[in-house]
């Protein structure tokens, strides 16, 4: 067996492309709050590509993957909407939904924790994709790539 190389010569190098950035916002738990945010972005020609909603009695945490996270940040700042951003991994599942178990098995074998995961609404390259936030995204990315799972960058999603 050959020793593993640490060189980034494999397809989908570790540092290729701009990482996908998620924007998170707390919304009041009121009818229409989510719709108002989505319409605000749509009015600025920003597409919501992935969304995760965690509801509670008082507030709702909305996580968004968009076509233009920089513009989302500018719109939210302009409107005084508090937000946070974080880099994510977006894994392309070659086998569609059937590829999810193998992706999760790779992460389990590497003993890395998934803090949250959600699917994307669009299908980049016609394939299913999932957004992942791991305890160590750099390590997780290297493990996934080494196991043949393609990691998409912001440019892949914003086409």
Measured CA to CA, the distance from residue 26 to residue 78 in angstroms comes to: 16
**Nearest of 129, 21, 152, 117 to residue 76 by alpha carbon:** 21
| Four-residue CA torsion sign, 137, 157, 103, 55 | positive
Does residue 152 have a pLDDT over 90? yes
In our burial notation (b when 16+ CB lie closer than 10 A, e otherwise), range 26-48 reads bbeeeeebbeebeeebeeeebeb
Q: Across residues 116-136, what is the average pLDDT?
A: 90
Does residue 136 have a pLDDT over 70? yes
Give the model confidence (pLDDT) of 74-104 as tens digits: 999 999 999 999 999 999 998 777 889 999 9
Q: How confident is the model at residue 36 (pLDDT cuts 50, 70, 90)?
A: very high
Higher pLDDT, 15 or 21: 21
pTM confidence score: 0.84
Average pLDDT score, the chain: 88
Does residue 11 have a pLDDT over 60? no
Domains of the chain in sequence order: 20-85 (3.30.2130.10), 88-157 (3.30.70.260)
Neighbours of 149 (CB within 10 A): 20
């Amino acid at each position: 067996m050959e020793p593993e190389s640490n060189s980034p010569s494999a397809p989908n190098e570790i540092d290729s492309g701009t990482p996908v950035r998620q924007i998170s916002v707390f919304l009041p738990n009121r009818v229409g709050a989510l719709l108002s945010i989505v319409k605000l972005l749509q009015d600025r020609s920003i597409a919501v590509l992935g969304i995760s909603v965690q509801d509670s009695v008082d507030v709702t945490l909305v996580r968004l993957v968009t076509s233009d996270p920089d513009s989302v940040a500018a719109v939210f700042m302009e409107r005084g909407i508090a937000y946070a951003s974080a880099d994510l991994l977006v894994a392309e599942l070659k086998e569609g939904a059937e590829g999810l178990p193998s992706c999760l098995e790779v992460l389990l074998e590497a003993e890395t924790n998934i803090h949250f995961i959600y699917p994307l609404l669009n299908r980049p390259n016609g394939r299913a994709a999932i957004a992942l936030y791991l305890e160590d995204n750099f390590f997780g990315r290297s493990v996934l790539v080494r196991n043949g799972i393609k990691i998409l960058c912001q440019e892949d999603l914003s086409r």
